[in-house]
Structure 1
Amino acid sequence: MPAPHNPFKAAIAQGNVQLGCWLGLADPYIAEISAGAGFDWLLIDAEHAPNDLRSITAQLQVIGARGVHAMVRPPIGETWMIKQLLDAGAQSLLIPMVESGAQAQGLVDAVTYPPHGVRGVGSALARASDFAAIGDYLTTAREEICLLVQVENTKGMAALDDILAVEGVDGVFIGPADLAADMGFIGSPNQAEVRAAVLDAITRIVAAGKAAGILTLDQGLQAQCRDLGATFIATEIDVTLFARTMRASAAEAAKRFK
């Protein structure tokens, strides 16, 4: 029996748009509600949210039970972190702050078993292999792992062509917020120069035959990226959605009763 099929990887490889939501509230209950909302994928964030391996694993379980694809973003692209996340059952990883082709190649190695990579062989202990129930896991796992890298500063943008040339990188995700800060527009990702850089990067990613992705709440930018061929687009964040809805609800109640 081979490793479980990764429908997200197959969809973006075929150019089919996949819409997602960022999960930063770090709670399985929230993840389960989100998994029933209708998104194609949900990203469990460990870079800017208080997640650890146990909370990530719990969210992978509830999201998977709903038939929605779960992606994980570690704090950094360290080999040991990647190994743990893969063993926990993550099949799609989004690695932040990738700045060179060499770094991208190191990430490919980290998600690949020897002799072609450096992923540690411990699948008998792992949820990923259904605790050794998937007999062919070691020989089939790599085919179903989706490796996505984030290019989100000027150094990464300068190295974009080198990153795109790395075989085994399935897609490149552009981070407008960090890019804006590095370009001198911190807190202002809607600046014309930043938007132009983002759209240029999306165009280059698609032209290179890789999947292009972005997280933005700007519906206009979402549409522009999709028109250019972006295939994985995060349109919402649970933290900001909850916060603005709660504030609006409190303000509306105060307006009625105070």
Structure 2
Amino acid sequence: MQDHKLVAFSEDGLKAIQERIETLRVDLGASGAILLDQTGELLVESGHHADLELNTFLTLLGNAMSAMNAVVHLLKDEGAFDLHFHEGQTYDMHTARIDDRIFLTLVFERHSGSSRVGMIWLSLRRTVTQLRSLLKQAMIESGSAESDKIKSAVSDAFDEAISRMDEDLFPTTPSVSPTSSISSLASTPEITPTPDIFSEPEIPPANQVLPTPKPRRRRTFDFSELRRREPLREEPLKEEPPAPPQISREVLDDPKHVLTYEEARALGLINLDDSNNK
């Protein structure tokens, strides 16, 4: 597996590459053209991509192109022309390998009739040869003046990001100069001494007239408040003893009538007080 190095392109070189890709897209009638690297990063685009979610599409396409690179390295044929073709009901997609790092993808909207695979294949093959030459011209060589400027800009941006992270993680406290500390001590208010509670109180002179203390008002308890809070107690009603039953004369004259307990008490035949005393 080869190491992937950071590659930078000049502005004029990328402009020439974009013009060539735009010409290819118009000639073939493609809806969109995309130039990407092996990580799925977009470099140049032309046209529109319909309703494709571009970020996910480029990531998946980059993974597929990495597998294509592995096949080229296995066959030891670095100058091979590899074309990945997808034919669907909605879109046709053609992806060509320019080198290990750069790939070109053309997206066609599917219409009625057969696709022009042969003409697209020939046009892509000629364009890949031209793009390889343009990429070499646009690539900034290591050690050149433009390369040094890019390295300096990247280094400055990296240092600035690190310093911001340090400030967020370890905020600096403002330094205090000796003069400011002395002035702050001078402006400190005086501390009043705490009175000694164990010292003897001062006795006023005999001829000094002391003020008469105001009488303190004693707190009295309001019983009316207690009465309001306590619920009224209801006294139980006294039950009156039941009236003695009335015995008719006919009942008394009847020898067969048996007196009840209440009738015997009413006639005075039973005295409860005498029975209790016994």
TM-score for the superposition, normalised by structure 2: 0.22
Q: Which has the higher helix share?
A: 1
Q: Which has the higher strand share?
A: 1
TM-score after normalising by structure 1: 0.23
The structure with the larger Rg is 2
- The answer to which structure, 1 or 2, has the higher relative contact order (CA under 8 A, 6+ apart) is 1
